[in-house]
Structure 1
Amino acid sequence: MEKRTGLTGSTLKIIALISMVLDHISRIVLTNGIMMRATYGQISNSQWSTLETVADVTSTLGRIAFPIFCFLIVEGFVHTHNLFKYMLTMLGFALLSEGVYDYVCSGSIFSIEQQNVMFEFLLALVMLFLLRQLQKIPKLPKVPEIIGDLLVVFLFSVLSEQFYLDGGMYGILLIAVFYFFRSYKKTRFVAAILVFLISACHIVLGGFVFNWDNILDLTVAAEIVSLIPISFYNGKRGLRQKYFFYVFYPLHLLLLYGCMLLIMRML
Protein backbone atom coordinates (compact mmCIF):
# COMPACT_ATOMS: atom_id res chain seq x y z
CA MET A 1 0.00 0.00 0.00
CA GLU A 2 1.34 3.41 -1.00
CA LYS A 3 1.99 5.68 1.96
CA ARG A 4 1.30 9.35 1.30
CA THR A 5 3.49 11.97 2.85
CA GLY A 6 2.11 15.27 4.02
CA LEU A 7 -0.57 16.31 6.48
CA THR A 8 -3.82 14.46 7.07
CA GLY A 9 -7.16 16.12 7.61
CA SER A 10 -7.02 15.39 11.33
CA THR A 11 -3.57 17.02 11.59
CA LEU A 12 -4.89 20.13 9.86
CA LYS A 13 -7.83 20.16 12.24
CA ILE A 14 -5.53 19.98 15.28
CA ILE A 15 -3.48 22.91 13.93
CA ALA A 16 -6.70 24.87 13.42
CA LEU A 17 -7.99 24.01 16.89
CA ILE A 18 -4.78 25.21 18.56
CA SER A 19 -4.94 28.44 16.57
CA MET A 20 -8.62 28.91 17.41
CA VAL A 21 -7.92 28.52 21.13
CA LEU A 22 -5.21 31.17 20.91
CA ASP A 23 -7.61 33.52 19.14
CA HIS A 24 -10.27 33.00 21.79
CA ILE A 25 -7.75 33.46 24.60
CA SER A 26 -7.08 36.86 23.08
CA ARG A 27 -10.75 37.75 22.73
CA ILE A 28 -12.42 36.11 25.73
CA VAL A 29 -9.74 36.02 28.42
CA LEU A 30 -7.71 39.13 27.57
CA THR A 31 -9.30 41.79 25.33
CA ASN A 32 -12.97 41.40 26.29
CA GLY A 33 -12.19 39.90 29.69
CA ILE A 34 -9.37 41.04 31.95
CA MET A 35 -8.46 44.18 29.99
CA MET A 36 -12.06 45.36 29.85
CA ARG A 37 -13.07 44.45 33.41
CA ALA A 38 -9.95 45.21 35.43
CA THR A 39 -9.59 48.54 37.22
CA TYR A 40 -6.47 50.70 37.40
CA GLY A 41 -5.83 49.38 40.89
CA GLN A 42 -5.81 45.77 39.70
CA ILE A 43 -3.44 46.10 36.74
CA SER A 44 -0.38 48.36 36.49
CA ASN A 45 0.62 50.12 33.27
CA SER A 46 3.44 47.65 32.65
CA GLN A 47 1.10 44.70 33.19
CA TRP A 48 -1.44 46.28 30.85
CA SER A 49 1.25 46.68 28.19
CA THR A 50 2.23 43.02 28.57
CA LEU A 51 -1.38 41.87 28.32
CA GLU A 52 -1.86 44.01 25.22
CA THR A 53 1.17 42.46 23.56
CA VAL A 54 0.07 38.92 24.43
CA ALA A 55 -3.44 39.67 23.15
CA ASP A 56 -2.06 40.98 19.85
CA VAL A 57 0.23 37.96 19.37
CA THR A 58 -2.42 35.36 20.20
CA SER A 59 -4.98 37.15 18.06
CA THR A 60 -2.63 37.17 15.08
CA LEU A 61 -1.77 33.49 15.49
CA GLY A 62 -5.49 32.84 15.80
CA ARG A 63 -6.06 34.01 12.23
CA ILE A 64 -4.49 30.78 11.00
CA ALA A 65 -7.50 28.74 12.12
CA PHE A 66 -10.38 29.98 10.00
CA PRO A 67 -8.94 29.34 6.49
CA ILE A 68 -8.02 25.79 7.54
CA PHE A 69 -11.53 25.15 8.84
CA CYS A 70 -12.96 26.53 5.58
CA PHE A 71 -10.73 24.17 3.62
CA LEU A 72 -11.82 21.21 5.75
CA ILE A 73 -15.50 22.07 5.23
CA VAL A 74 -14.97 21.71 1.49
CA GLU A 75 -13.13 18.40 1.96
CA GLY A 76 -15.89 17.18 4.26
CA PHE A 77 -18.51 18.13 1.67
CA VAL A 78 -16.65 16.38 -1.13
CA HIS A 79 -16.00 13.17 0.80
CA THR A 80 -19.13 12.77 2.93
CA HIS A 81 -21.37 9.80 2.17
CA ASN A 82 -24.38 11.46 3.74
CA LEU A 83 -24.59 15.20 3.17
CA PHE A 84 -27.97 15.49 4.90
CA LYS A 85 -26.57 13.93 8.08
CA TYR A 86 -23.49 16.15 7.86
CA MET A 87 -25.66 19.27 7.60
CA LEU A 88 -28.03 18.08 10.33
CA THR A 89 -25.11 17.48 12.69
CA MET A 90 -23.75 20.96 11.94
CA LEU A 91 -27.18 22.50 12.56
CA GLY A 92 -27.68 20.61 15.83
CA PHE A 93 -24.36 21.66 17.32
CA ALA A 94 -24.74 25.21 15.97
CA LEU A 95 -27.97 25.52 17.93
CA LEU A 96 -26.44 23.92 21.03
CA SER A 97 -23.40 26.22 20.85
CA GLU A 98 -25.28 29.45 20.21
CA GLY A 99 -26.30 30.08 23.81
CA VAL A 100 -22.73 29.55 25.01
CA TYR A 101 -21.34 31.70 22.20
CA ASP A 102 -23.79 34.55 22.87
CA TYR A 103 -23.20 34.50 26.62
CA VAL A 104 -19.42 34.47 26.31
CA CYS A 105 -19.37 37.20 23.67
CA SER A 106 -22.18 39.48 24.84
CA GLY A 107 -23.14 38.39 28.36
CA SER A 108 -26.60 37.38 27.17
CA ILE A 109 -27.95 33.87 26.50
CA PHE A 110 -29.56 35.16 23.30
CA SER A 111 -28.13 37.82 21.01
CA ILE A 112 -28.70 38.62 17.34
CA GLU A 113 -25.51 40.66 17.05
CA GLN A 114 -23.48 37.71 15.74
CA GLN A 115 -24.03 33.99 15.28
CA ASN A 116 -21.43 31.29 15.93
CA VAL A 117 -19.22 29.96 13.17
CA MET A 118 -21.09 26.66 12.81
CA PHE A 119 -24.00 28.55 11.26
CA GLU A 120 -21.53 29.98 8.75
CA PHE A 121 -20.30 26.49 7.88
CA LEU A 122 -23.88 25.21 7.59
CA LEU A 123 -24.74 28.01 5.17
CA ALA A 124 -21.60 27.19 3.21
CA LEU A 125 -22.64 23.53 2.94
CA VAL A 126 -25.99 24.60 1.50
CA MET A 127 -24.14 26.81 -0.98
CA LEU A 128 -21.84 23.97 -2.02
CA PHE A 129 -24.85 21.70 -2.50
CA LEU A 130 -26.48 24.26 -4.81
CA LEU A 131 -23.25 24.74 -6.75
CA ARG A 132 -23.01 21.01 -7.30
CA GLN A 133 -26.65 20.87 -8.43
CA LEU A 134 -26.02 23.69 -10.90
CA GLN A 135 -23.39 21.55 -12.58
CA LYS A 136 -26.06 18.97 -13.41
CA ILE A 137 -28.38 21.46 -15.13
CA PRO A 138 -28.00 21.67 -18.94
CA LYS A 139 -26.66 25.11 -19.81
CA LEU A 140 -28.24 27.40 -22.38
CA PRO A 141 -26.14 28.13 -25.47
CA LYS A 142 -23.64 30.97 -24.99
CA VAL A 143 -24.41 31.21 -21.24
CA PRO A 144 -21.19 30.59 -19.26
CA GLU A 145 -21.54 28.26 -16.30
CA ILE A 146 -19.57 30.68 -14.15
CA ILE A 147 -22.44 33.19 -14.18
CA GLY A 148 -24.71 30.88 -12.20
CA ASP A 149 -21.87 30.00 -9.83
CA LEU A 150 -21.05 33.64 -9.16
CA LEU A 151 -24.71 34.49 -8.53
CA VAL A 152 -24.96 31.70 -5.93
CA VAL A 153 -21.76 32.79 -4.19
CA PHE A 154 -22.91 36.42 -4.21
CA LEU A 155 -26.31 35.49 -2.76
CA PHE A 156 -24.80 33.46 0.07
CA SER A 157 -22.22 36.17 0.78
CA VAL A 158 -25.06 38.65 1.25
CA LEU A 159 -26.96 36.21 3.47
CA SER A 160 -23.92 35.63 5.68
CA GLU A 161 -23.67 39.37 6.27
CA GLN A 162 -27.38 39.94 6.79
CA PHE A 163 -27.55 37.24 9.46
CA TYR A 164 -24.33 38.44 11.14
CA LEU A 165 -22.62 35.07 10.86
CA ASP A 166 -19.15 34.70 12.34
CA GLY A 167 -17.02 34.64 9.19
CA GLY A 168 -19.47 36.51 7.01
CA MET A 169 -18.67 37.18 3.38
CA TYR A 170 -15.01 36.34 4.01
CA GLY A 171 -15.83 32.75 4.91
CA ILE A 172 -18.25 32.22 2.03
CA LEU A 173 -15.78 33.55 -0.55
CA LEU A 174 -12.93 31.51 0.89
CA ILE A 175 -14.94 28.29 0.88
CA ALA A 176 -16.03 28.99 -2.70
CA VAL A 177 -12.37 29.44 -3.71
CA PHE A 178 -11.35 26.17 -2.04
CA TYR A 179 -14.21 24.41 -3.82
CA PHE A 180 -13.76 25.84 -7.32
CA PHE A 181 -9.97 25.45 -7.34
CA ARG A 182 -9.76 22.24 -5.35
CA SER A 183 -7.65 20.54 -8.02
CA TYR A 184 -5.52 23.58 -8.85
CA LYS A 185 -3.21 24.27 -5.92
CA LYS A 186 -1.36 27.28 -7.35
CA THR A 187 -4.54 29.01 -8.52
CA ARG A 188 -6.17 28.21 -5.18
CA PHE A 189 -3.25 29.78 -3.33
CA VAL A 190 -3.43 33.02 -5.32
CA ALA A 191 -7.25 33.21 -5.20
CA ALA A 192 -7.25 32.67 -1.42
CA ILE A 193 -4.77 35.53 -0.96
CA LEU A 194 -7.08 37.78 -2.99
CA VAL A 195 -9.91 36.87 -0.61
CA PHE A 196 -7.68 37.75 2.35
CA LEU A 197 -6.95 41.15 0.82
CA ILE A 198 -10.62 41.78 0.03
CA SER A 199 -11.51 40.87 3.60
CA ALA A 200 -8.86 43.25 4.96
CA CYS A 201 -10.61 46.13 3.14
CA HIS A 202 -14.13 45.00 3.95
CA ILE A 203 -16.35 46.75 6.48
CA VAL A 204 -19.37 44.64 7.44
CA LEU A 205 -22.47 46.03 5.68
CA GLY A 206 -20.52 49.20 4.96
CA GLY A 207 -18.67 48.50 1.74
CA PHE A 208 -14.94 48.55 1.11
CA VAL A 209 -12.18 50.93 2.11
CA PHE A 210 -8.72 50.41 0.63
CA ASN A 211 -6.11 51.01 3.29
CA TRP A 212 -2.46 49.99 3.13
CA ASP A 213 -2.34 49.60 6.90
CA ASN A 214 -5.02 46.90 6.64
CA ILE A 215 -3.39 45.22 3.64
CA LEU A 216 0.01 45.05 5.36
CA ASP A 217 -1.43 44.02 8.73
CA LEU A 218 0.09 40.95 10.40
CA THR A 219 -3.30 39.25 10.46
CA VAL A 220 -3.22 39.06 6.65
CA ALA A 221 0.25 37.51 6.86
CA ALA A 222 -1.07 34.93 9.35
CA GLU A 223 -3.92 34.07 7.00
CA ILE A 224 -1.42 33.54 4.19
CA VAL A 225 0.63 31.32 6.51
CA SER A 226 -2.46 29.12 6.95
CA LEU A 227 -2.20 28.19 3.27
CA ILE A 228 1.14 26.47 3.90
CA PRO A 229 -0.19 23.50 5.93
CA ILE A 230 -3.19 23.37 3.58
CA SER A 231 -0.81 22.95 0.63
CA PHE A 232 0.70 19.90 2.36
CA TYR A 233 -2.67 18.16 2.73
CA ASN A 234 -2.33 14.59 1.45
CA GLY A 235 -6.01 13.81 0.95
CA LYS A 236 -6.15 11.40 3.89
CA ARG A 237 -8.66 11.70 6.70
CA GLY A 238 -6.24 10.71 9.47
CA LEU A 239 -7.51 10.09 13.00
CA ARG A 240 -11.25 9.67 13.33
CA GLN A 241 -12.60 12.61 15.32
CA LYS A 242 -16.27 12.29 14.47
CA TYR A 243 -17.78 14.64 17.02
CA PHE A 244 -14.66 15.98 18.71
CA PHE A 245 -14.71 19.42 17.07
CA TYR A 246 -18.45 19.85 17.58
CA VAL A 247 -18.13 19.19 21.32
CA PHE A 248 -14.81 21.00 21.70
CA TYR A 249 -16.15 24.26 20.26
CA PRO A 250 -18.71 25.21 22.95
CA LEU A 251 -16.74 23.46 25.70
CA HIS A 252 -13.55 25.45 25.18
CA LEU A 253 -15.56 28.70 25.09
CA LEU A 254 -16.99 27.90 28.51
CA LEU A 255 -13.61 26.87 29.90
CA LEU A 256 -11.92 30.05 28.70
CA TYR A 257 -14.72 32.19 30.08
CA GLY A 258 -14.41 30.36 33.41
CA CYS A 259 -10.65 30.94 33.41
CA MET A 260 -11.21 34.64 32.82
CA LEU A 261 -13.64 34.85 35.79
CA LEU A 262 -11.20 32.93 37.99
CA ILE A 263 -8.33 35.27 37.10
CA MET A 264 -10.52 38.29 37.82
CA ARG A 265 -11.29 36.90 41.28
CA MET A 266 -7.58 36.48 41.95
CA LEU A 267 -6.63 40.03 41.00
Structure 2
Amino acid sequence: MTSTSLKVIALILMLLDHIGQFIPGTPLWLHWVGRLSAPVFMFCMAWGFYYTHDRKKYLLRMYFFGVGMGLIDLISNNIITDPYAMMSNNIFVTLLLVGVIVWLIETRKTDKPKGNKFIALFAGYQILTTMLCILAGQFVPLTGIMSFVGAITGNVIFNEGSFIFVFLGVLIYFNRTDKKRLILAYSLFCLAFFALEWSIDPRLTALLYNNYQWMMIGSLPLMLSYNGEKGRGLKYLFYIFYPVHIVILFFIGNLFF
Protein backbone atom coordinates (compact mmCIF):
# COMPACT_ATOMS: atom_id res chain seq x y z
CA MET A 1 0.00 0.00 0.00
CA THR A 2 1.06 3.59 -0.58
CA SER A 3 1.63 6.07 2.22
CA THR A 4 -1.63 7.81 1.32
CA SER A 5 -3.57 4.54 1.54
CA LEU A 6 -2.08 3.82 4.97
CA LYS A 7 -2.99 7.32 6.16
CA VAL A 8 -6.59 6.92 4.97
CA ILE A 9 -6.89 3.60 6.83
CA ALA A 10 -5.34 5.17 9.95
CA LEU A 11 -7.73 8.11 9.61
CA ILE A 12 -10.77 5.80 9.52
CA LEU A 13 -9.52 3.82 12.52
CA MET A 14 -8.87 7.08 14.36
CA LEU A 15 -12.39 8.30 13.59
CA LEU A 16 -13.87 5.09 15.02
CA ASP A 17 -11.72 5.43 18.12
CA HIS A 18 -12.81 9.03 18.68
CA ILE A 19 -16.47 8.12 18.20
CA GLY A 20 -15.95 5.69 21.05
CA GLN A 21 -14.16 8.36 23.07
CA PHE A 22 -16.70 11.16 22.79
CA ILE A 23 -20.09 9.54 22.14
CA PRO A 24 -21.69 7.82 25.17
CA GLY A 25 -22.94 4.25 24.79
CA THR A 26 -20.75 3.27 21.84
CA PRO A 27 -19.27 -0.27 21.70
CA LEU A 28 -15.82 -0.98 23.11
CA TRP A 29 -14.56 -2.53 19.87
CA LEU A 30 -14.26 1.00 18.47
CA HIS A 31 -11.36 1.52 20.89
CA TRP A 32 -9.86 -1.86 20.03
CA VAL A 33 -9.53 -1.06 16.34
CA GLY A 34 -8.55 2.49 17.24
CA ARG A 35 -5.34 1.21 18.86
CA LEU A 36 -3.98 0.58 15.36
CA SER A 37 -4.24 4.20 14.25
CA ALA A 38 -1.43 6.11 16.01
CA PRO A 39 1.41 3.66 15.14
CA VAL A 40 0.42 3.76 11.46
CA PHE A 41 0.43 7.57 11.49
CA MET A 42 3.87 7.45 13.12
CA PHE A 43 5.11 5.06 10.45
CA CYS A 44 3.87 7.35 7.69
CA MET A 45 5.35 10.36 9.47
CA ALA A 46 8.71 8.55 9.69
CA TRP A 47 8.85 8.10 5.91
CA GLY A 48 7.47 11.57 5.27
CA PHE A 49 10.13 13.11 7.51
CA TYR A 50 12.82 11.11 5.75
CA TYR A 51 11.71 12.18 2.27
CA THR A 52 10.85 15.82 2.96
CA HIS A 53 13.07 18.40 1.25
CA ASP A 54 12.69 20.91 4.10
CA ARG A 55 12.70 19.43 7.59
CA LYS A 56 12.56 22.84 9.24
CA LYS A 57 9.36 23.71 7.38
CA TYR A 58 7.94 20.26 8.17
CA LEU A 59 8.57 20.67 11.90
CA LEU A 60 7.29 24.24 11.97
CA ARG A 61 4.07 23.15 10.30
CA MET A 62 3.66 20.38 12.86
CA TYR A 63 4.40 22.85 15.67
CA PHE A 64 1.82 25.44 14.60
CA PHE A 65 -0.86 22.81 14.09
CA GLY A 66 0.05 21.44 17.53
CA VAL A 67 -0.33 24.84 19.18
CA GLY A 68 -3.61 25.39 17.33
CA MET A 69 -4.94 22.01 18.44
CA GLY A 70 -3.80 22.70 21.98
CA LEU A 71 -5.76 25.96 21.98
CA ILE A 72 -8.84 24.17 20.62
CA ASP A 73 -8.53 21.56 23.39
CA LEU A 74 -8.18 24.23 26.06
CA ILE A 75 -11.15 26.32 24.90
CA SER A 76 -13.42 23.31 24.39
CA ASN A 77 -12.67 21.76 27.79
CA ASN A 78 -13.51 25.03 29.51
CA ILE A 79 -16.69 25.80 27.54
CA ILE A 80 -18.38 22.57 28.63
CA THR A 81 -18.83 22.06 32.37
CA ASP A 82 -17.84 18.56 33.45
CA PRO A 83 -17.55 17.08 29.91
CA TYR A 84 -18.33 13.43 29.26
CA ALA A 85 -14.81 13.04 27.85
CA MET A 86 -12.12 15.70 27.96
CA MET A 87 -10.54 16.76 24.71
CA SER A 88 -6.90 15.81 25.21
CA ASN A 89 -6.08 14.87 21.63
CA ASN A 90 -3.02 16.41 20.01
CA ILE A 91 -0.94 13.98 18.00
CA PHE A 92 0.73 16.92 16.24
CA VAL A 93 2.92 17.62 19.29
CA THR A 94 3.85 13.94 19.64
CA LEU A 95 4.89 13.75 15.99
CA LEU A 96 6.77 17.05 16.29
CA LEU A 97 8.84 15.66 19.15
CA VAL A 98 9.55 12.46 17.23
CA GLY A 99 10.94 14.57 14.39
CA VAL A 100 13.02 16.76 16.68
CA ILE A 101 14.59 13.79 18.47
CA VAL A 102 15.29 12.01 15.18
CA TRP A 103 17.01 15.16 13.93
CA LEU A 104 19.10 15.36 17.14
CA ILE A 105 20.20 11.74 16.85
CA GLU A 106 21.09 12.08 13.18
CA THR A 107 23.00 15.29 13.89
CA ARG A 108 25.05 13.45 16.50
CA LYS A 109 25.86 10.71 13.98
CA THR A 110 27.37 13.22 11.56
CA ASP A 111 28.85 15.67 14.07
CA LYS A 112 29.26 14.16 17.54
CA PRO A 113 30.31 17.32 19.47
CA LYS A 114 27.53 19.39 17.90
CA GLY A 115 25.01 16.60 18.43
CA ASN A 116 25.99 16.17 22.08
CA LYS A 117 25.62 19.91 22.63
CA PHE A 118 22.16 20.01 21.07
CA ILE A 119 21.01 16.92 23.01
CA ALA A 120 22.21 18.45 26.29
CA LEU A 121 20.37 21.69 25.48
CA PHE A 122 17.24 19.74 24.58
CA ALA A 123 17.37 17.79 27.85
CA GLY A 124 17.78 20.97 29.88
CA TYR A 125 14.95 22.59 27.95
CA GLN A 126 12.69 19.63 28.70
CA ILE A 127 13.40 19.89 32.43
CA LEU A 128 12.49 23.58 32.41
CA THR A 129 9.33 23.11 30.35
CA THR A 130 8.19 20.21 32.54
CA MET A 131 8.47 22.48 35.58
CA LEU A 132 6.58 25.19 33.69
CA CYS A 133 3.75 22.78 32.82
CA ILE A 134 3.46 21.67 36.45
CA LEU A 135 3.45 25.25 37.72
CA ALA A 136 0.77 26.18 35.18
CA GLY A 137 -1.35 23.30 36.47
CA GLN A 138 -0.95 24.58 40.02
CA PHE A 139 -1.68 28.25 39.46
CA VAL A 140 -3.81 28.60 36.31
CA PRO A 141 -7.44 27.55 36.95
CA LEU A 142 -8.17 26.18 33.50
CA THR A 143 -8.94 22.55 32.65
CA GLY A 144 -6.19 21.07 30.48
CA ILE A 145 -3.76 23.95 30.97
CA MET A 146 -0.75 21.63 31.39
CA SER A 147 -1.37 20.02 28.01
CA PHE A 148 -1.73 23.44 26.41
CA VAL A 149 1.57 24.65 27.87
CA GLY A 150 3.07 21.33 26.79
CA ALA A 151 1.91 22.04 23.23
CA ILE A 152 3.38 25.55 23.21
CA THR A 153 6.71 24.40 24.63
CA GLY A 154 6.94 21.02 22.89
CA ASN A 155 7.24 19.01 26.09
CA VAL A 156 8.00 15.28 25.95
CA ILE A 157 5.86 14.45 28.98
CA PHE A 158 2.78 16.64 28.56
CA ASN A 159 1.71 15.48 25.11
CA GLU A 160 -0.64 12.83 23.79
CA GLY A 161 0.94 9.50 24.65
CA SER A 162 3.69 11.21 26.67
CA PHE A 163 7.33 10.16 26.29
CA ILE A 164 6.35 6.52 25.69
CA PHE A 165 4.77 7.27 22.32
CA VAL A 166 7.51 9.73 21.42
CA PHE A 167 9.94 6.86 21.98
CA LEU A 168 7.74 4.60 19.85
CA GLY A 169 7.86 7.08 16.97
CA VAL A 170 11.65 7.28 17.14
CA LEU A 171 11.85 3.48 17.31
CA ILE A 172 9.71 3.16 14.18
CA TYR A 173 11.78 5.75 12.32
CA PHE A 174 15.11 4.01 12.83
CA ASN A 175 13.72 0.55 11.98
CA ARG A 176 11.41 1.48 9.10
CA THR A 177 13.71 0.39 6.26
CA ASP A 178 14.29 -3.18 7.44
CA LYS A 179 11.12 -5.24 7.82
CA LYS A 180 12.78 -7.85 10.04
CA ARG A 181 14.13 -5.20 12.38
CA LEU A 182 10.78 -3.42 12.36
CA ILE A 183 8.94 -6.63 13.27
CA LEU A 184 11.38 -7.35 16.11
CA ALA A 185 11.54 -3.81 17.53
CA TYR A 186 7.82 -3.10 17.29
CA SER A 187 6.84 -6.52 18.64
CA LEU A 188 9.16 -6.12 21.64
CA PHE A 189 7.69 -2.68 22.33
CA CYS A 190 4.14 -4.06 22.23
CA LEU A 191 5.17 -7.04 24.37
CA ALA A 192 6.65 -4.66 26.95
CA PHE A 193 3.42 -2.67 26.92
CA PHE A 194 1.42 -5.89 27.34
CA ALA A 195 3.63 -6.90 30.29
CA LEU A 196 3.09 -3.49 31.87
CA GLU A 197 -0.67 -3.70 31.51
CA TRP A 198 -0.67 -7.32 32.69
CA SER A 199 1.29 -6.29 35.81
CA ILE A 200 -1.37 -3.68 36.57
CA ASP A 201 -4.17 -6.26 36.33
CA PRO A 202 -3.49 -9.76 34.95
CA ARG A 203 -7.15 -10.68 34.48
CA LEU A 204 -8.21 -11.38 30.89
CA THR A 205 -11.22 -9.13 31.33
CA ALA A 206 -8.95 -6.24 32.32
CA LEU A 207 -6.70 -6.79 29.29
CA LEU A 208 -9.75 -6.74 27.04
CA TYR A 209 -11.93 -4.10 28.63
CA ASN A 210 -9.61 -1.72 30.50
CA ASN A 211 -5.92 -1.99 29.59
CA TYR A 212 -6.00 -2.76 25.86
CA GLN A 213 -3.31 -0.51 24.42
CA TRP A 214 -1.30 -3.68 23.67
CA MET A 215 -3.71 -4.30 20.79
CA MET A 216 -1.66 -1.82 18.76
CA ILE A 217 0.38 -4.87 17.69
CA GLY A 218 -2.36 -5.23 15.07
CA SER A 219 -0.95 -2.25 13.15
CA LEU A 220 2.23 -4.14 12.25
CA PRO A 221 0.76 -5.89 9.15
CA LEU A 222 -0.33 -2.48 7.86
CA MET A 223 3.18 -1.09 8.23
CA LEU A 224 4.66 -4.14 6.51
CA SER A 225 2.30 -3.64 3.56
CA TYR A 226 3.92 -0.30 2.66
CA ASN A 227 5.25 -0.40 -0.90
CA GLY A 228 7.53 2.64 -0.70
CA GLU A 229 5.23 4.84 -2.79
CA LYS A 230 3.72 8.14 -1.66
CA GLY A 231 0.42 7.88 -3.50
CA ARG A 232 -1.81 10.89 -4.10
CA GLY A 233 -0.59 12.75 -1.01
CA LEU A 234 -3.72 14.52 0.29
CA LYS A 235 -1.44 16.14 2.88
CA TYR A 236 -3.74 18.85 4.20
CA LEU A 237 -6.75 16.51 4.35
CA PHE A 238 -5.19 14.92 7.42
CA TYR A 239 -4.12 18.18 9.02
CA ILE A 240 -7.64 19.62 8.68
CA PHE A 241 -9.71 16.49 9.32
CA TYR A 242 -7.99 15.84 12.65
CA PRO A 243 -9.16 18.95 14.59
CA VAL A 244 -12.49 19.26 12.76
CA HIS A 245 -13.80 15.77 13.50
CA ILE A 246 -12.63 15.89 17.13
CA VAL A 247 -14.45 19.19 17.77
CA ILE A 248 -17.63 17.93 16.12
CA LEU A 249 -17.65 14.67 18.08
CA PHE A 250 -16.80 16.43 21.34
CA PHE A 251 -19.75 18.80 21.12
CA ILE A 252 -22.15 16.14 19.82
CA GLY A 253 -21.28 13.88 22.73
CA ASN A 254 -21.60 16.62 25.34
CA LEU A 255 -24.60 18.55 24.03
CA PHE A 256 -26.87 15.86 22.59
CA PHE A 257 -26.35 12.81 24.81
Report the counterpart of residue 140 of structure 2 in structure 1.
Answer: none
SS of residue matched to 1:25? helix
User: Structure 1 pair 252/64, CA: closer, same or farther in 2 (3 Å)?
Assistant: same
Offset at residue 193 of structure 1 (A): 1.8
Residue 229 of structure 1, aligned match among 200, 217, 222: 222
**Which residue is equivalent to 2:103?**
129
Counterpart of 1:184? 178
Letter of the 1:70 partner, please give it.
M
Q: Secondary structure at the residue paired with 1:24?
A: helix
The 3 A distance-change label for structure 1 pair 199 and 103 is farther
Cα contact 2:201–2:207 (8 A) shared by 1: no
* Amino acid across the alignment from 2:55: L
1:92 counterpart (64, 75, 79): 64
Structure that is richer in helix per residue: 2
Q: CA deviation at 1:114?
A: 5.3
Matches of 1:83 and 1:11 in 2, distance apart? 23
Q: Which amino acid aligns with 2:52?
A: T
AA in 2 matched with 1:62: G
8 Å CA contact 1:157–1:172 kept in 2: the answer is no
Q: Which ranges of structure 2 fall in alignment gaps of 5 or more residues?
A: 81-86, 131-153
Task: Summarize the Cα distance change of 1:123–1:258 in structure 2 as closer, same or farther, 3 Å threshold.
Answer: same
Q: Deviations over 1:10-48 (max 9, x none)?
A: 000011101111111111112xxxxxxxxxxxxxxxxxx
Correspondence for 2:165 among 167, 171, 178 = 171
Letter in 2 for 1:231: L
Deviations 1:110-137 (A, max 9, x none): xxx9572211111111001111111102
- Give the aligned length: 218
RMSD: 3.4
> Do structure 1's residue 117 and structure 2's residue 113 form an aligned pair?
no
Which structure 1 residue ranges, 5 or more long, are not aligned? 1-6, 31-50, 140-147
- Structure showing greater radius of gyration is 1
- 1:16 and 2:13 correspond: no
User: 1:55 offset after TM fit, Å?
Assistant: 3.3
CA contact (8 A) 1:94 1:118 kept: yes
Please list the CA deviations of residues 206-242 of structure 1 after superposition, one character each: whole Å capped at 9, or x if unmatched: xx9465448x935356311111111010111111212
State whether residues 87 and 125 of structure 1, in contact with CA within 8 Å, keep that contact through their aligned partners in structure 2: yes
* Alpha-carbon spacing, 1:259–1:93, altered in 2? closer, same or farther (3 Å): same
Contact 2:23 2:252 in 1 (8 A): yes
- What TM-score do the two structures reach when normalised by structure 1? 0.70
- CA apart distance, 1:91: 0.9
